[in-house]
Amino acid sequence: MADVLSYRPRTGDIPQRPGVYRFLDERGRVLYVGKAKNLRSRLVNYFAPLHALHERTRAMVTSASDVQWTVVSNEIEALHLEYTWIKEFDPPFNVKFRDDKSYPMMAITLKDEAPRVFVTRNRNIRGARYFGPYPKVWAVNEAIELMIKVFPIRTCKPSDYERAMKTGKPCFAGQIGRCGGPCSHTVTIDEHRKMVDRFIAFMERYDRSEVDAIERRMREAADEHRFEDAAKYRDQMIALETVLEKSAVVLPERTDLDVIAVELDELAAAMQLFTVRGGRVRGVRSLTVDTELDVAQGELLQQSLVSLYSDDGLVPPAEIVVPGLPYGVEALTEVLSERRGGVVRFTVPKRGAKEQLLATAHENAVGALQQYKLKRTADYVARTQAMHDVQEALGLPEAPLRIECFDISHLGGTGIVGSMVVFEDGLPKKSQYRRFNIASARDDTDAMDQVLRRRLKHLDQDAGSLAAEAEAQQNPNAPKFAYRPQLLLIDGGLPQVNAAQRALDASGVSGIAIAGLAKRLEELWLPGEEFPVILPRNSEALFLLQRLRDEAHRFAITAQRNSRAKALGTSLDAIPGLGPARVQALLTQFGSVKRLAAANEDEISSVPGIGVETARRILAALR
């Protein structure tokens, strides 16, 4: 592979101006769209020596056959043009918004003669006032159901309303008392409009003054012995209280902002949006995206915010709380301010209520990303495709129905533990997970060699026969190590993979493939190969292998921590006067025996349950 791309333009030909660039393949398909404040400074980075490029960037530039650019006046125009081209060309190497579904909103048609309230996913209704988004349709319906008990505005369809006004017969909702629209002849158009204004005012501010006013009317009706009216006011007050309770107060009143949290890994990202109006969380939205090239948090925020406040018709608030400033924050601020018709600012909180709300949103983003990965892993079609793709990528004779993944964990070279996790048909088999305690090792490659030798000695050339596997499946007491894997996946790069191959060669077992998945770059290394195998970042195969690697890493760390805690506890258990409760209290306070031995008598005796005499015995034993 040539280290210089044939289509590379001369550096002097690239303008030093703001603009948008496109990488195209030989058929003219747009592969990637990007923007730059200085086109020359940005594009020369793509044409660095290939070995110095990130693997994903290398895959993109080598797939392209041409690069084109368009100069614009400023960075704001570049931001607009980049967004337009991404929507038009759908480039495969740009961020992929997987969750394109629209969220339900509460809409009030203010342009109508008698405005109505209803649930919709359409953000483009002319003259409508929106509230939300809501996470589920039932949440919007519940809010409307409660609100019309207090503000019985129109809910019927336009056809029902027109028929009722022509015939003089109220619509069905009006007949049962669930609608106070003009068609029921209980209110006039003007009176109904005032009720709509009160409905909107409450939804905007969640002001308790409305509740207090209804409570006063309820007490007055009770004092005057109008108990039916008092009961009606009571029900209205309960309805509004329920709406207030379901919209928790998180910030001071009159605080309007959006909170956006991001959880990002090598393949995908999840974003969580909390819409706060009047100090209350009014809406929640989750968005999951696939990332084709390496995308930093700032760049992801920039692209997502432009899409969020353009595609979905949402109007940005005056303040947007983010975990870090997005790229091109000045230009982005101007674009969103133009969209809002007022100033928009970004805030990165470090403490206080906003920081706590951002942490809550981030916790939800973490959960959303985990669920997204689990959903893809659990899908039968996706699992089948993943194993087929792994077979093709590694050149295996058959799909790897059983994959075993290995990882090494230690603490500064001590307490070395190896882990083995097993996936069959793309799903974890936790009953067959194994851990390996390693007394000593020179480095991670030596530890991996020891683990693989211990695992492979349980296999022989006959273990993979159909008869042997059938017998093992029928016998529940058969050792699980007798099951033969088609693929050994190693958490690591080429050194760890080569160590695993040496162990496989020494065992005399053949017919098992070995591959290593390196962290961060997500490269797939094969023994003895100079260059890694690059799987598409949105492929099911890479998701499956990443899930295996992450599970092996989690299992190794858990085993190593448990082993360390057990070792610490054992060294303290030998000291007279220390039972399990006191040992746990000491470990909680100091974290390790080394720190405990370095402490003085006063520090040790300050631990609950530990007296001065016991502290002296502990120090005498440890020193």
Three-state DSSP string of 249-293: ECCCCCCCEEEEEEEECCCEEEEEEEEEECCEEEEEEEEEEECCC
pLDDT band (50, 70, 90) for residue 133:
low
Whole-number Cα distances in Å, 448 to 306, 420, 453, 602: 47, 11, 9, 44
Give pLDDT, residue 576: 72
Q: What is the CATH number of the domain that holds 544?
A: 3.30.420.340
The per-residue pLDDT for range 588-603, each reduced to its tens digit, is: 777 667 778 788 888 8
Residue 366 has pLDDT above 50, yes or no: yes
In a domain, 248, yes or no: no
In a domain, 527, yes or no: yes
- Angle subtended at Cα 93 by Cα 91 and Cα 98, rounded to the nearest 5 degrees: 80
In a domain, 221, yes or no: no
Give me the residue label for tokens 């162990």. Answer: 503
Give pLDDT, residue 345: 92
In a domain, 75, yes or no: yes
Give me the residue label for tokens 């303008």. Answer: 15
* Percent above pLDDT 70 for the chain: 82
* Percent above pLDDT 90 for the chain: 4
Rounded Cα distance between 497 and 506, Å, is: 14
pLDDT band (50, 70, 90) for residue 321:
very high
Specify whether 356 is located in the same domain as 430. Answer: no
Rounded Cα distance between 425 and 254, Å, is: 54
User: Which among 510, 405, 402, 390 is positioned nearest to 448, based on CA atoms?
Assistant: 405
β-strand partners of 109? 128
In a domain, 242, yes or no: no
Cβ–Cβ < 8 Å for 482, 458: yes
The count of domains in the chain is: 5
Specify whether 31 is located in the same domain as 147. Answer: no
Give pLDDT, residue 320: 92
pLDDT band (50, 70, 90) for residue 292:
low
Helix, coil or strand: residue 460: coil
Residue 174 has pLDDT above 60, yes or no: yes
Instruction: Determine the structural domain holding residue 457 and report its residue range.
Output: 381-561
Say how many C-beta atoms besides its own lie within 10 A of residue 13's C-beta: 7
Burial of 392 (0-12, 13-18, 19+ CB in 10 A): exposed
Distance between start and end Cα atoms, the chain: 62
The per-residue pLDDT for range 529-550, each reduced to its tens digit, is: 878 888 876 677 888 888 888 8
Q: What is the CATH number of the domain that holds 41?
A: 3.40.1440.10
Rounded Cα distance between 240 and 220, Å, is: 19
Angle between helices 494-507 and 444-456 (to 10 degrees): 30
Specify whether 411 is located in the same domain as 548. Answer: yes
Rounded Cα distance between 171 and 183, Å, is: 7
Specify whether 48 is located in the same domain as 152. Answer: no
pLDDT band (50, 70, 90) for residue 312:
low
Cβ–Cβ < 8 Å for 111, 125: no
Question: Omega into 92 within 30° of 0, i.e. cis?
Answer: no
Q: What is the mean pLDDT of the chain?
A: 79
- 126-145 in b/e burial notation, b at 16+ Cβ within 10 A? eebbbbbbbeeeebbeebbe
Give pLDDT, residue 323: 92
Give pLDDT, residue 458: 78
Give pLDDT, residue 275: 82
Q: What is the secondary structure of 554-577 as a DSSP string? A: HHHHHHHHHHHHHHHHHHHHTSTT
The per-residue pLDDT for range 15-73, each reduced to its tens digit, is: 888 888 989 988 888 899 888 888 998 898 898 888 778 777 888 888 899 998 888 77
- Average pLDDT over every residue of 541-566: 77
Distance of CA 229 to the CA centre of its chain: 50
In a domain, 115, yes or no: yes
Specify whether 436 is located in the same domain as 535. Answer: yes
Identity of the highest mean pLDDT range in 211-215, 369-373, 577-581: 211-215
Q: Which of 205, 220, 242 is the last residue of a domain?
A: 205
Rounded Cα distance between 593 and 622, Å, is: 8
Rounded Cα distance between 384 and 392, Å, is: 13
The per-residue pLDDT for range 97-107, each reduced to its tens digit, is: 554 345 677 88
Specify whether 488 is located in the same domain as 532. Answer: yes
Q: Which of 375, 408, 432 is the last residue of a domain?
A: 375
β-strand partners of 411? 414
Specify whether 280 is located in the same domain as 370. Answer: yes
Specify whether 527 is located in the same domain as 425. Answer: yes
Residue 476 has pLDDT above 80, yes or no: no
Q: Which of 321, 346, 375 is the last residue of a domain?
A: 375
Specify whether 133 is located in the same domain as 275. Answer: no
Q: What values do phi and psi take at 570, rounded to 5?
A: -65, -40
β-strand partners of 106? 119, 131
Specify whether 412 is located in the same domain as 540. Answer: yes
User: Which among 57, 83, 78 is positioned nearest to 15, based on CA atoms?
Assistant: 78
- Average pLDDT over every residue of 539-567: 76
Specify whether 435 is located in the same domain as 535. Answer: yes
The amino acid occupying position 242 is T
Give pLDDT, residue 272: 85
The per-residue pLDDT for range 113-123, each reduced to its tens digit, is: 888 888 887 77
Cβ–Cβ < 8 Å for 593, 572: yes
Q: What is the CATH number of the domain that holds 320?
A: 3.30.420.10
In a domain, 159, yes or no: yes
Give pLDDT, residue 346: 93
For residue 362, the 8-state DSSP code is H
In a domain, 603, yes or no: yes
Residue 132 has pLDDT above 80, yes or no: no
Rounded Cα distance between 301 and 385, Å, is: 31
For residue 183, the 8-state DSSP code is G
User: What pTM does this model have?
Assistant: 0.48
Specify whether 340 is located in the same domain as 444. Answer: no
